[in-house]
A and B are shown apart, each in its own frame.
Chain A
Amino acid sequence: MDLRSVALGDQLEERCIEMWVYQKSLEYPAGVTATNPRLAKDVITQYGGPDGELGASLRYLTQRYTMPLPQAKAALTDIGTEELAHLEIVATLVYNLIRDASLEDIKKAGMDDYYADHDKAVYFVNASGMPWVATYIQSKGDPITDITEDMAAEQKARSTYEYLIQLSDDPDVTETLRFLWQREIVHFQRFGELLDLLQEYYGHQHYFDMNGFDPNKVLKQE
């Protein structure tokens, strides 16, 4: 553990600079009422689907390197880390929904194609079995572009959780999905605040601008 002084506004604080650590508990007490491979096949999309938690965590954690503001570096680190905790919650749901399923249950649920490749292991696929790909996410180097993508990502994840809640016939799974759904709304709010801070940082004239393009110069030439 390395102690360094971190300047934040006019405050100067001694803080621990830490690596990642694992904590042996979930962020939310996830529960499953009954074995249900049919539901597992849907919920798994938030593990390895286009708007799932793997993409979310990797997107935010890789975008933070090129952020110019301390608030943005901190929020992307913390939200990216929270998404990893959500990834573990989704995995817990999927694992518990299929762990006691018989082969007959799995066939009836249409999960036999998944079983052929993964048995009952938890793998990164969407609801129709497509594996996770890095093209689900972007890291563009333009902070306004990246935070705008993050806001859209939170909305897409919120919609997905709403569809999963509609599909869920397991009361305990529904409760857990509702928690994850709420977190998407909080993250969207935080990203919106970052967008405001970034627009202020760039002086309000660059929001829809390309790098290096100065609308004032163009106007003067006319």
Chain B
Amino acid sequence: MEGNRPLEVAQLDPRQLEMLRCIMQLEFECIDLQLFLDTHPAEARALEEFRRYSDELCNAKKAYEDAYGPLLNYGFGRAPGGWQWICDPWPWEINWRRGA
């Protein structure tokens, strides 16, 4: 890696990053439980956990969208302010460095 320049970390609102990180964590729980439930649809405990995380995720997304605009396109997200969908950063423009 010698000679390679460190990448600039995008200057973002730390609150926005924190909310996004929380959404990503909840969503990962939901993704993993969803795949498990696909092959174990009768597992009541997993379904209960899925519902709990999914409710938490819904609330976290609502709070994020109220502040920073829609997370989802085609009307699946909320657009309370102006047309914030086009606002940067897009997912590939955030460099999630460890300890950054």
Contacts and interface: CB of A to CB of B under 8 A. Distances in A.
Contacts of B20: 25
A33 B91 contact: no
Given A9-B41, A27-B27, A33 B92 contact: no
A197 interface: yes
Contacts of A21: 72-74, 76
Contacts of B8: 100
Contact of B28 (A24, A28, A95): A28
B100 to A, nearest CB: 7
A35 B7 contact: yes
A32 B1 CA distance: 12
Nearest to B39: A193
Interface centre among B24, B70, B96 (most CB of A within 10 A): B96
Interface residues of A, number: 45
Contacts of B92: 26, 88, 91-92, 95-96
A139 B79 CA distance: 40
Interface residues of B, number: 39
A22 B39 CA distance: 25
B82 to A, nearest CB: 16
B96 A30 contact: yes
Contacts of B40: 193
B98 A171 contact: yes
A79 B38 CA distance: 10
B11 interface: no
Interface stretch (A70-78, A150-158, A208-216): A70-78
Contacts of B12: none
Nearest to B20: A25
A27 B31 contact: yes
Contacts of B28: 27-28
A82 B31 CA distance: 8
A120 interface: no
B41 A71 contact: yes
Contacts of B5: 34-35, 100
25 contacts: A8-B41, A9-B41, A21-B74, A22-B72, A22-B73, A23-B71, A24-B85, A24-B91, A25-B71, A28-B28, A29-B24, A31-B100, A32-B95, A33-B1, A34-B1, A35-B4, A70-B41, A71-B39, A71-B41, A78-B31, A92-B91, A100-B5, A190-B36, A193-B40, A197-B39
Interface of A: 8-9, 18-19, 21-36, 70-71, 74-75, 78-79, 82, 88, 91-92, 95-96, 100, 105, 169-172, 175, 186-187, 190, 193-194, 197
